[in-house]
């Protein structure tokens, strides 16, 4: 079992993925093969996944784009 804490895919990370990887979130996980050797991997997400229509407009509320969910499923 392995825990991965405070994963944030918004703000600076999102901007970097767009700028350096052309929006391809899979590039963030290209060196994570070791995680597949564990029976259980528990990530701790720093924010909810929400579409633009459902995002809350609050001063410091992070909202991760659900577009990354299929990429995360591929890592399982």
- Render each residue's pLDDT in the chain as its tens digit; 76 residues: 999 888 888 888 989 999 999 999 999 888 888 888 999 989 888 888 877 665 566 655 677 888 888 888 877 6
Domain span holding position 33: 2-75
Question: What b/e readout covers 35-73, taking b as 16+ CB neighbours within 10 angstroms?
Answer: eeeeeeeeeeeeeebbeeeeeeeeeeebbbbeebeeebe
The pLDDT of residue 60 is 59
Any idea of the CA torsion for 12, 18, 24, 26, to the nearest 10 degrees?
A: -20
The pLDDT of residue 39 is 92
For the entire predicted model, the pTM comes to 0.71
Whose tokens are 């350096």? That residue is 20
Rounded distance between C-alpha atoms, residue 14 and residue 76, angstroms: 21
The pLDDT of residue 58 is 61
User: Count of domains in the chain?
Assistant: 1
């Amino acid at each position: 079992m392995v825990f991965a804490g405070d994963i944030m895919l918004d703000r600076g990370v999102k901007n970097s993925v767009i700028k350096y990887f052309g929006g391809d979130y899979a590039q963030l996980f290209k060196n994570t093969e070791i995680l597949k050797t564990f029976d259980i991997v528990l990530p701790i997400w720093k924010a909810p996944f929400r579409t633009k229509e459902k995002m809350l407009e609050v001063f410091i509320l992070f909202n991760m784009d659900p577009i990354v969910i299929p990429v995360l499923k591929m890592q399982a």
